[in-house]
Structure 1
Amino acid sequence: MIKTAQFFKCLSDDTRLHATLLILLEGELCVCELTQALNESQPKISRHLAQLRNCSILDDTKRGHWVYYSIAKTLPKWALDVLNTTSQSDLKSLKIFQKNLKAMKNRPTCC
Structure 2
Amino acid sequence: MLNGDNQSDTIGAVELFKIMSDPLRLRILMLIHDELALSVGDLTKALQVSQPKVSRHLALLRDSGVLHDQREGVWIFYHFPPDLPLWIRHIFDTVRNGQPALINQEKIRLSAIKNRKKPQSINSIIE
Same fold (TM over 0.5): yes
1:14 equivalenced with 2:23 (yes/no): yes
Separation in 2 of the partners of 1:70 and 1:110?
10
Instruction: Tell me how far 1:46 sits from its aligned partner.
Output: 0.4
Aligned AA (2:105): I
For each residue in 1:21-59, what CA deviation from the matched residue of structure 2 results, as whole angstroms up to 9, or x when unmatched? 100100100000000111111000000000000111101
Equivalent position of 1:29 in the other structure:
38
Q: Deviations over 1:57-96 (max 9, x none)?
A: 1011000110000012222111100000101122113222
The gaps in structure 1 that reach 5 residues or longer are: none
**2:25–2:57 CA contact under 8 A, matched in 1:** yes
How far, CA to CA, are the matches of 1:109 and 1:17 in structure 2?
A: 22
Alignment-derived partner of residue 53 in structure 1 = 62
Of 75, 83, 107, the match for 1:98? 107
Shift of 1:110: 4.1
Instruction: Give the stretch that moved more between structures: 88-97 or 59-68.
Output: 88-97
After TM superposition, give the deviation of residue 106 of structure 1 in Å. 4.4
Which of 79, 89, 94 is matched with 1:80 structurally?
A: 89
Q: Which moved more, 1:66-75 or 1:48-57?
A: 66-75
Number of residue pairs the alignment of both structures matches: 111
RMSD: 1.2
Gaps of 5+ in 2: 1-9, 121-127
Q: Which amino acid aligns with 1:45?
A: V
- Distance in 2 between residues matched to 1:97 and 1:80, nearest whole Å: 21
Q: Structure 2 counterpart of 1:74, which letter? A: D
4+ residue runs of structure 1 moved beyond 6 angstroms?
Answer: none
Provide closer, same or farther for how the CA distance between residues 94 and 78 of structure 1 changes in structure 2, counting only shifts above 3 A.
Answer: same
TM-score, normalized by length of structure 1?
0.93
- Could you tell me how far apart the structure 2 residues matched to 1:13 and 1:19 are? 10
Larger Rg: 2
